[in-house]
Amino acid sequence: MVPVLRSNSFEIAKNIEICRTLTSQTLGLMFRSQIPDNYAMIFVMKKPSSAGIHMLFMRFPIDVIFLDEEKTIIGLAHLKPWTGHKAMKKIKYIIETNPGAIEKYKLSIGGKMEFEGI
């Protein structure tokens, strides 16, 4: 089954990259020149914990969605290259996607994200 990222009955991404290891989570989207449409990178933490984001060596802005264990949105951010977002508590998943996704798909704190097979 190919994972699909959904929220508010919108299909946000079909092109999904999963990051479970420390190396893949540290590298994230660094050094890439762009990401395709319909793309999301999902960071999966071993257990809910404090987690933040850095934008070192990034060449483009992204939207970031922070989820708890129930896939409820507990944080949203628009990040530009060479910035960051402070650590948030009880994070199980972090989703990085194209800029503008938060508004386009009407994402908000308390909303739910849907994905399976991850």
Give the model's pLDDT for residue 117: 72
Model-level pTM? 0.93
Calculate what percentage of the chain has a pLDDT beyond 70: 98
Structure confidence at residue 116 (pLDDT) = 80
CATH number at residue 34: 2.60.120.1140
Q: Is residue 115 part of a domain?
A: no
Q: Which residue has the tokens 């959904």?
A: 6
**Total residues found in the chain within this entry:** 118
Please write the tens of the pLDDT for every residue from 3-50: 789 998 899 999 999 999 999 999 999 999 999 999 999 999 999 999
Give all strands of the β-sheet with 84-97 in edge-to-edge order.
15-19, 39-54, 84-97, 62-67, 73-79
Q: Which residues span the domain enclosing 29?
A: 5-104
83, part of any domain:
yes
Whether residue 25 is contained in a domain is answered as yes
